[in-house]
Amino acid sequence: MKKAYIIGCAAIAAVALGSCSEEKFSPSGEGRVFLAANVNTDVKVFSRATEEAELGESCIIWLSNEKGVIYKYQGVDNLPVEGINLVSGAYTVEAWAGEASPASFDKRWFEGKESFELLPSQTQRVTVTCRIANVVTSVAYDESIDEVLTDYTMTVSHSKGELTFEGRDERKGYFRMPPSDTALEWTLRGTQADGSQYVATGTIEDVKQAYEYVLTVKHNPSVDNSGGVYFTIEVDESAVEINDNIVIALAPEITGYNFDITKPLVGEKGSLGRRSVFVRATSELKSVVIEAEGLAGMLGINGDNFDLFNCAEQVAAAIEAAGITHDHTYNTEAQTSLLKINFEELFTNRLENGVHDITITATDNAGKTSSAVLSFNISDAPVATDDILATDITTSSAVLRGSVLKDGVESVGFNYRQAGTAEWTYVDGVADSRSWAAGATFSATVTGLTQNTTYEYTVVSGDYVSGDIRSFTTEALPQLPNAGMEDWWLDGKVWRMEAQGDTRFWDSGNNGSATMSKTVTYYDESLFHSGSRSAYLESKFVGIGSFVGKFAAGNIFAGQYIGTEHTTNGIIGFGRPFTGTPKALKVWVKYTPGTVDYWESGVYDDIVKGKTDRGIIYIALMDDHTETFTFEGKDYNFPVIVRTYTKELFDSSSEHVIAYGEKLFTEATAGDGLIELTIPLDYRRQDVKPSYIVLTASASKGGDFFSGSSSSKMWLDDFELVY
């Protein structure tokens, strides 16, 4: 199955710096490639920084080989600076930029593609240039026009959009041509001197992307028998002039060697030893500033900051003598930098009790800047209180965490209580490893807590009780709206799955099938688990006769059907706001598959014409990332945007998926009624709580590709999230 995100892009990626270590090596069967993309624009931008930031934030880049897409990145900030190794062979990199609006004065669309061959042990840099992919239009008028025509406008259009140039509008119009359109239509309107209306129309045939068509309106003084004024419209065609080049670059990445730089390094005075920080950049580093309160006194320099790359010789000598050393490597072929900063034992042993924050700010030749804080927490306390991970908290339990600061600690535990109460409850801590030496961590799971309630906790070791009291709030127990599938109402021709006037949570393919007066998702009052109704998903051919139309899968999903493009192709926003952390989804279901009788290329390998159809239910918990899609002048924001026309679908392996579970139906369910089904959720990320839930059920798994059986059916009732 081909999966993809929907989003416009331009990007730069470093694909294949090896992981940081004390040694460097490159497997003989692999090579390293650094991918970069730039955007050739047709106009000077008002703010280069703003343009670059917008393109970088909404970017997508694909790296493919003969087997298909192997890496997909969305957003420049999500591209790995450290890169990955690639097996030698032939590759293609594709990049996109901007917004693919059907017609706009300011939304442009860029595309780029480059193929390359990577040899064993080779380091290679490949640049992809994204060039404008719009058809561009502009309008010009003779000076004499104003004498014979007023309030004039020029409208240019294709089947999916139009733009109107009012008067001497000097803007350029950008059109994203539908696959079925090869021409632009124009209409000139205005008021003549006698007050009558003038209208002229025409066609620009065989338009090409990356070409600008200038419609020049000229006045012909000839007068016809009715006194009407004649105008001529000349169309000049020329390739779009490239006036600017924007390079989207990654900011440097700052990481700790064998430790997480986002967390404090904790220990007794003189116990931390040497600590190293790596700075990676996809262009040459030009500045690395280190700053900390009291640094001047420790190093014997003027001021509490210095620049490793731009300091005087005597300052550099003082820094090294105080125990801060560095090693910088610049790869001229790949144009990448790798800097290692060592805070030697000589430096860390001098740190007194307390918290010492050292800010490291790196800037490269592309003007990209990143900062990180290296924090040393020097303490004589035997143990320290740590933060709870977001996923450690449920509705009735939490995992308390702490760290050992000194060797020889024999007992550890926690005090906890409900916020606002006086009495503490003690619980023993359990070592997270076999060692109780300084640097070890420990935890304790407390249960029986009340949902949606704030608690406090702190660490304990023998007679020592830490004054560092931290808090957390247990989760509520969110469930799904209309989980029993009882509420339905008819919105025009479309059946909705909520009580009329309620906030919409569910949607279905009914929005598309209703255009052909067909319904693929409805309620059934003859088959249900509880209440009086279930959701009835029926796959069928939606069209006129047997030839005009498409196969449509019966389906429901948490989200919104945004619209239909290219006659029958749906645009869907998946996901609704959700903050719970359930362990599983329960649902009552009945499934009866038919034989696959509709099939299109690009379908799943397990959907074969003449074989048994397959149904699917899947659930995903997502982070706070959203995508934006503009349709008919309105922006839609969802965790996932699906477009069946471009085969841009939900990707269950996305880095934005926190937890995922699915049930694939390969045969009919047992019995005549609904059966209870449990779909466990596999949590892949522990660093963040969910912000959205994606939940989809389909009577035909291949419905994304208009493939399946016109006789497949699924009944659903009583969804329940299990905590």
Read off the pLDDT of residues 152-176 as tens digits, 9 standing for 90 and up: 999 999 988 899 999 999 999 999 9
Residue 590 burial (10 A CB sphere; 0-12, 13-18, 19+): buried
DSSP 106-153: S--EEEEEEEEEE-TT-EEEEEEEEEE-SEEEEEEE-TTHHHHEEEEE
Give the C-alpha separation, 435 to 409, whole Å.
10
Q: Binning pLDDT at 50, 70 and 90, where does residue 20 land?
A: very low
DSSP codes of every residue in 662-687: EEEE-SPPSSSS-EEEEEE-EE---S
Cα(521)–Cα(199) distance, integer angstroms: 47
The DSSP line for 434-488 is S--STT-EEEEEE-SPPTT-EEEEEEEETTEE-S--EEEE-------TTTT----
What share of the chain in percent tops pLDDT 70? 87
pLDDT exceeds cutoff 50 at 25:
no
Q: Is residue 579 over pLDDT 80? A: yes
CA pair distance 507, 644, nearest whole angstrom: 16
Among 119-133, 191-205, 668-682, top mean pLDDT goes to 668-682
User: What are the backbone angles phi and psi of residue 495, rounded to the nearest 5°?
Assistant: -80, 130
Taking residues 558-586, what's their average pLDDT? 88
User: Where do we find the tokens 């390998």?
Assistant: 605
Confidence bin at 394 (pLDDT 50/70/90): confident
- Which candidate, 193, 103, 100, places its Cα nearest to that of 149? 193
Is 60 exceeded by the pLDDT of residue 659? yes
Q: Decide if 660 contacts 682 (C-beta within 8 A).
A: yes
pLDDT digits (tens, 9 = 90+) for 66-92: 877 788 777 666 666 666 678 888 899
Q: List, for residues 83-139, the tens digit of each pLDDT value.
A: 667 888 889 988 888 887 899 998 888 888 889 888 887 777 777 888 888 999 999
Q: pLDDT (tens digit, 9 = 90+) per residue, 485-497? A: 999 998 888 889 9
What pLDDT was estimated at residue 453?
95
Query: Given phi > 0 = left and psi -120 to 50 = alpha, else beta, which region is 231?
Result: beta
- Name, in order, each residue with C-beta under 8 angstroms of 250's C-beta and a sequence gap of 6 or more: 12, 13, 14, 76, 77, 79, 81, 281, 282, 368
What does the alpha-carbon distance between residue 693 and residue 256 come to, in Å, rounded to a whole number? 33
Q: Taking the alpha carbons of 695, 700, 701, 705 in that order, is the dihedral positive or negative? A: negative
Handedness of CA 580, 585, 588, 594 (dihedral sign): positive
As a whole number of Å, the end-to-end CA separation of the chain is 32
pLDDT confidence of residue 43: 63
621 close to 581: Cβ distance less than 8 angstroms: yes
**Per-residue confidence band for 408, with pLDDT thresholds at 50, 70 and 90:** confident
Residue type, 666: T
More confident residue, 107 or 5: 107
Sheet (strand 521-524) strand order: 521-524, 534-538, 713-722, 584-592, 675-680
User: Is residue 383 a contact partner of residue 404, using CB atoms and an 8 Å limit?
Assistant: yes
β 425-428/369-378 pair status: unpaired
pLDDT of residue 180: 80
Mean model confidence pLDDT for the chain: 85
Task: List, in sequence order, every residue forming a beta bridge with 115; answer none if it has no partner.
Answer: 92
Q: Residue range 353-363: average pLDDT? A: 93
Contact 101, 107 (CB under 8 A): yes
For every residue of 263-316, DSSP letters joined together read S-EEE-TT----EEEEEEESS-EEEEEEE-TTHHHHHT-SSSEEETTS--HHHH
In this predicted structure, the answer to whether residue 434 has a pLDDT above a threshold of 60 is yes
Q: What local confidence, expressed as pLDDT, does residue 648 receive? A: 76
pTM: 0.47
